[in-house]
């Protein structure tokens, strides 16, 4: 849209397209290099001139491209050019040393994101929204002072689904689906596909009464995508094998009613929205156990999410947004889904067979 500003009684000509540093220079009546130095608070430009240039830039709506800024900064620092990198922020809902590191999935996200950020010429710096010393306004000031305009948001903890952060001036991408407000682009596992695949693979192993144990609070955080995949897969088979979902409010309640639900519906395999061997092992030995989130060191049958690709793809999307200077709140968001794969294990050997113990015997 053309931009018009007035200086006194004189109207400045309309500007079409993105506002450049050259536009600011022309409207401020200075050279382009003076604009560049003024916006860096360089002492070679008088304070009154710096303020006039900054006011003109603000009036015009000029916004520097953070990637270009970082590149120019690295060129000016010739002696350290090989080590100077633009930074991206990694925003967590925990204090820096808190619980997110206890979750293998979150550690894998972070490791992959850090590696891909370096490959793309960035470093990844961690910040916490729940650090008592870091109010949201102070955090935003800190990020801006460090030239950070791209934010990767870690999965929120507990039942949090809101990010207490002003998106203005930042490109933002979330890991997983937990951030539901404000609306942001996200990269996540394809939960619908995972549950659908788990059901069909369990059926291929000979199981017929395949149930689903899922905490309601977890289902809400995932926008019921796991639940939807299971229900759709279930509809492909005989109505006699359609088992009601076992859905207590929290994960801790699953072991309490699991066996009664299994007995009532003659369940021969259970798909779990968890991978806790202790909670899963409460089921009878002849019941197949399938998890929707297994890791390399696990002997549990189920879906292996591609957590490293999710972390890498999230960085790629974030850098793409920065290159377009796509910042602020979004009118339409993207949910980029990465499919996991089926992983055979010891917990579901096939219909009629007892599984091996998932926990070491005492």
**Please, what are the averages of pLDDT over each run of 10 residues along the chain (362 residues)?**
45 60 86 79 79 87 61 46 72 70 87 95 89 79 90 88 86 93 94 98 97 95 95 94 95 95 97 89 94 86 96 96 84 91 94 82 49
Q: Is residue 299 domain-shared with residue 312, that is, in the same domain?
A: no
Give me the helix-helix angle, 32-39 and 21-28, nearest 10°. Answer: 100
The number of CA neighbours under 13 Å toward the Cβ of 267 is 29
Within a domain: 210: yes
For the domain that residue 293 is a member of, what is the CATH number?
A: 3.40.50.2300
Distance, in Å, from the CA atom of 195 to the CA atom of 228, rounded to the nearest integer, reads 8
Residue-wise pLDDT tens digits, 105-122: 989 999 999 999 999 999
Which structural domain, as residue segments, surrounds residue 18?
6-62
Q: Is residue 156 domain-shared with residue 208, that is, in the same domain?
A: no
Pairing of strands 10-11, 6-7: antiparallel
Within a domain: 70: no
Residue-wise pLDDT tens digits, 180-209: 888 999 999 999 999 999 999 999 999 999
Residue-wise pLDDT tens digits, 2-55: 444 444 434 445 565 667 788 888 888 888 778 877 876 677 788 888 889 888
The two tokens of residue 91 are: 């925003």
Q: Is residue 228 domain-shared with residue 298, that is, in the same domain?
A: yes
Within a domain: 362: no
Q: Is residue 96 domain-shared with residue 128, that is, in the same domain?
A: yes
The answer to whether the pTM exceeds 0.75 is yes
Q: Is residue 227 domain-shared with residue 250, that is, in the same domain?
A: yes
Q: Is residue 220 domain-shared with residue 299, that is, in the same domain?
A: yes
Distance, in Å, from the CA atom of 113 to the CA atom of 152, rounded to the nearest integer, reads 9
Within a domain: 264: yes
Distance, in Å, from the CA atom of 57 to the CA atom of 39, rounded to the nearest integer, reads 9
Total domain count, the chain = 3
Q: Is residue 182 domain-shared with residue 195, that is, in the same domain?
A: no
Task: Write 235-238 long-range contacts (CB < 8 A, 24+).
Answer: 237/203, 237/208
- In this prediction, residue 11 carries a pLDDT of 45
Q: Is residue 30 domain-shared with residue 174, that is, in the same domain?
A: no
Q: Is residue 97 domain-shared with residue 135, that is, in the same domain?
A: yes
Within a domain: 75: no
Q: Is residue 50 domain-shared with residue 198, that is, in the same domain?
A: no
For the domain that residue 30 is a member of, what is the CATH number?
A: 1.10.260.40
């Amino acid at each position: 849209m053309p931009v018009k500003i007035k200086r006194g009684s004189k109207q400045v000509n309309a500007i079409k397209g993105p506002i450049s540093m050259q536009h600011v220079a022309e409207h401020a009546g200075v050279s382009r290099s003076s604009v560049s130095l003024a916006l860096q608070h360089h002492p070679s430009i008088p304070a009154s001139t710096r303020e006039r240039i900054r006011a003109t830039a603000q009036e015009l709506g000029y916004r520097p491209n953070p990637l270009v800024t970082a590149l120019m900064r690295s060129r000016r620092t010739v002696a350290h050019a090989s080590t100077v990198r633009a930074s991206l922020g990694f925003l967590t809902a925990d204090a820096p040393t808190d619980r997110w590191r206890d979750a293998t999935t979150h550690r894998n996200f972070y490791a992959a994101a850090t590696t891909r950020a370096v490959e793309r010429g960035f470093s990844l710096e961690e910040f916490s929204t729940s650090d008592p010393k870091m109010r949201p306004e102070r955090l935003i000031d800190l990020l801006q002072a460090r030239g950070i305009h791209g934010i990767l948001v870690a999965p929120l903890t507990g039942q949090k689904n809101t990010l207490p952060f002003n998106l203005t001036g930042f490109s933002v991408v979330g890991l997983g689906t937990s951030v539901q407000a404000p609306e942001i682009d996200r990269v996540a596992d394809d939960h619908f596909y995972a549950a659908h695949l788990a059901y069909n693979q369990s059926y291929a192993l000979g199981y017929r009464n395949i149930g689903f144990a899922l905490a309601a609070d977890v289902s809400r955080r995932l926008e019921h995508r796991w639940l939807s995949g299971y229900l759709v897969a279930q509809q492909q088979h005989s109505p006699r094998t359609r088992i009601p979902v076992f859905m207590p409010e929290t994960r801790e309640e699953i072991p309490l009613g699991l066996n009664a639900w299994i007995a009532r519906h003659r369940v021969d395999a259970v798909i779990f929205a968890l991978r806790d061997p202790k909670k899963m092992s409460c089921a009878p030995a002849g019941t197949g156990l399938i998890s929707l989130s297994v890791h390399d060191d696990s002997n549990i049958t189920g879906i292996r999410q591609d957590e490293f690709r999710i972390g890498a793809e999230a960085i790629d999307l974030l850098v793409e947004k920065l290159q377009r200077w796509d910042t602020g709140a979004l009118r339409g968001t993207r949910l980029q889904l990465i499919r996991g794969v089926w992983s055979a294990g010891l917990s579901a050997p096939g219909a009629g067979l007892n599984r091996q113990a998932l926990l070491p015997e005492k």
